[in-house]
Homo-oligomer: A and B are copies of this chain.
Amino acid sequence: MSFRGEEDYIKQIFQLQCDNPSSAYVKTSELIQLTGHAAPSVNEMIKRLVSKGLLEYNRYVGVRLTSEGEHIAANIIKKHRLWETFLHDYLNYKWDEIHDEAEALEHITSDRLSEALYAFMAHPKTCPHGNPIEVSIDDQHDSEEILLINASTHHAYRIIRVKDTPDVLEYLDRIHLKPGTTIRINENDPFNEFIEIKNDDRTKTIGYRLAKSIVVKKLE
């Protein structure tokens, strides 16, 4: 049986592995940071997951999901994003209000329910934040997709997905940027750490902190 706590750890590890596919290992400190739990709690959980065969662990190096762990992670993430989509598209939730509900629903969703929801919504491709419903650790990196922070001046891009933290989402909502939106880079100023973009004939300035939360893809 999988418990809520376990599943959240597995999910976080998966996300960290995806974010940084170069280094195969996720460091304990990253997990402490991301989960907000104390070091001994994280350590204890790592041992639990190792003993269940969901995790490999080398001390002072880090952890990595086993293929079973990966499978569980992808399954939960799918459930998470299905609920986000349902709440947003059918129950009129705003896109910054869906993550927390999904965070709880994902754990008590049977595979049966997951499939039924998926079919009910006619197999959506992505959640409202632009993240794919069906995930796999391998086919993660479409090399065309880059962080907005790395976009080049005078080129056009489409927003693919955005980081799903409430502050980011609320702000993006206010300035009318979302997955699918087309933008043009007027200027990328690494020294002053901002990017000036144009969309809807309006010019907007995006700081680097926010620009790291937006994934875009060059057009044509």
Residues of A within 8 A of B (CB): 87, 90-93, 101, 104-105, 107-108, 110, 112-113, 116-117, 120
Contact = CB atoms under 8 A, between A and B. Distances in A.
B101 A113 contact: yes
A93 B108 contact: no
Contacts of A110: 101
Contacts of A120: 90-91
Contacts of A104: 108
Nearest to A107: B108
A117 B105 contact: no
A140 to B, nearest CB: 29
A179 to B, nearest CB: 23
Nearest to A116: B91
Most buried by B among A92, A104, A108: A108
A107 B4 CA distance: 13
A120 B101 CA distance: 17
Contacts of A93: 116
